[in-house]
Amino acid sequence: MDLFQAGPDELRSLRVNAPVHLDENTGLWLVSRYEDVRAILADPNRFHPDNALTAVTAIPRPVLRVLARAGFSLPPTLANNGTDTHAELRRLVAAFLTPARVQAMRPRIADLARERLAGLTGPIADLHPVLARDLPAIVLMEVMGIDDVDIPKLKAWSTASLELFWGNPSLDRQHELAKPTAEFHQWLTRRIRTARGDDLFGALRDVPIREAAGLCYFLLIAGQETTTQLLCAMFDAVLRHGGLWSRLGEPGMPARVVEEVLRRDPPVNTWRRIAAEPTTISGVAVPAGAHLLLMLAGTGSDPEVFADPERLCPARPNARKHLAFGYGRHFCLGAGLARLEAEVVLRETVERFPNLSLASPEPPPMLGLLSFRAPLSVRVRLGEPAHPAPEPASGPSTGHDGDPALTASASRG
């Protein structure tokens, strides 16, 4: 099985025939059943998170030297932290993502969506570059109190980092990716060292610089790239289910649809753990030190938990039982913000373009990383807009001149 391209059929086969399976190509133990994955995430004493951010494709010494010269490091901070420092670092970040602070972003998210939707002209458009790519980065920077950020540069840094650490790049490609990755880390280090305000960087001023930069590196990538991926997965999934688009105006429907997409098509489709001791999972003996790959995407379609799991069913009563945001002490801090962004963007889009449809039934090109999978393009037929384009709303600076959704260049490298 190609773990970078595994689809629903492969995940189903694993779950049924080999729920705990050693992949000889990668040395990873694949765990597919919902109850097994949930139990592993809930037990940080027996299953450690130390390998969560380890490069999937080993980084060779010459590339490591490029990163080392930039002072790059990823010490235990959040996702990869099983030490006693985790709780305090998590508390510092959580202060920026309280329910009240997140909900206060609702009007701003709606304004950003309307601005981008007003600029869409047909008959065919791609929702990824115009609507999904940069909006989550702008929202994350604002909720973290960070201004004067060059959003296109941030996106280029973060997409390069995702590919370097979760992709399968060639040696030449690793050299290419190391430069923007190192630049991102250096920028973070400078910003934290010179922080004076009460933004995220300022909140970390008393944290050792190595830990603070490592924390921000992963947070500012995952906090917006996964939401970009969620938006694309959401539009693609909804538009492939006939008649669902026309029902999105029903009360509560956008939020329920978002939850179903998270269950079926989570942007974080796998995650990793290390077995701290010999253990048995679904009757299979797993040795101490084994690197586990938790198949999050497969758990959302486990028929032992979700009836008729392949169907996108907005009325599903237990949809929120999914593991798209993890479980336990490492549950995603940005879950509330991601849910809100997806709900608001979906609602604003259907209000602006009530007759939206996919331009082609063909599957879109996909982002194929070990732990991140989503459409790279969502080409749609817009149909007639429901009302004239609104006047652009004023709001906090996006960090550069022009409409970032139209000027950004955020290729995977």
CATH number reported for the structural domain that contains residue 126 in this entry = 1.10.630.10
> With 70 as the cut, is the pLDDT of residue 393 above it?
no
Quick check: is 312 in a domain?
A: no
Quick check: is 222 in a domain?
A: yes
Q: 157-161: long-range contacts at Cβ-Cβ below 8 A with a sequence spacing of 24 or more?
A: 157/181, 157/183, 157/184, 157/187, 158/184, 158/220, 158/221, 158/224, 158/225, 159/225, 159/410, 159/411, 159/412, 159/413, 160/184, 160/412, 160/413, 161/217, 161/221
What is the count of structural domains for the chain? 1
Question: In 3D, which of 334, 81, 82, 73 has the Cα closest to residue 213?
Answer: 73
> With 90 as the cut, is the pLDDT of residue 413 above it?
no
Question: In 3D, which of 16, 57, 122, 119 has the Cα closest to residue 405?
Answer: 119
Quick check: is 152 in a domain?
A: yes
Quick check: is 5 in a domain?
A: no
Quick check: is 361 in a domain?
A: yes
Residues 319/263, Cβ–Cβ less than 8 Å: yes
Return the pLDDT at 389: 59
Q: Is pTM, for the whole model, over 0.85?
A: yes
> With 50 as the cut, is the pLDDT of residue 406 above it?
no
> With 80 as the cut, is the pLDDT of residue 261 above it?
yes
Quick check: is 370 in a domain?
A: yes
Quick check: is 363 in a domain?
A: yes
Q: 163-166: long-range contacts at Cβ-Cβ below 8 A with a sequence spacing of 24 or more?
A: 163/369, 163/412, 163/413, 164/55, 164/59, 165/53, 165/54, 165/55, 165/56, 166/55, 166/56, 166/369, 166/370, 166/371, 166/372
Sheet with 271-275: list strands edge to edge. 20-23, 28-31, 291-294, 271-275, 47-48
Return the pLDDT at 390: 57
| Beta carbons within 10 angstroms of residue 147's beta carbon | 13
Range of the domain at 365: 35-262+331-407
Q: Which residue has the tokens 């999914």?
A: 322
Return the pLDDT at 394: 46
